[in-house]
Amino acid sequence: MMRSTEKEPVMSQAVKLTDLTVDDRLLAEAEALKIDITRAAADGIAQAVKAEKERLWLSENAEAIAASNAYVAKHGLPLARHRRF
């Protein structure tokens, strides 16, 4: 049983050991602030992956989004008459 003062495991999924190059001053500052370097790196990579997936989705669907926006601009919202605001 884990006590409330103990840290939770960093990751519950399979992990891969890898090397990263990090600016010395940034790493020293993070260590001084007691930042979990592994967690911070994983969080940063996850954020970058999410942002790139969003960018790709928007790029791949740009034509459909433009067509939908053009339809609404020309005809209005399909169920606008039922809106109460």
What pLDDT score was predicted for residue 53?
A: 98
Q: Do residues 37 and 30 touch, judged by C-beta distance below 8 A?
A: yes
What pLDDT score was predicted for residue 12?
A: 67
pTM, two decimal places: 0.68
pLDDT per residue as tens digits for the range 26-51: 999 999 999 999 999 999 999 999 99
Q: Which of 32, 42, 43, 37 is nearest to 22 (CA)?
A: 37
Q: Do residues 63 and 70 touch, judged by C-beta distance below 8 A?
A: no
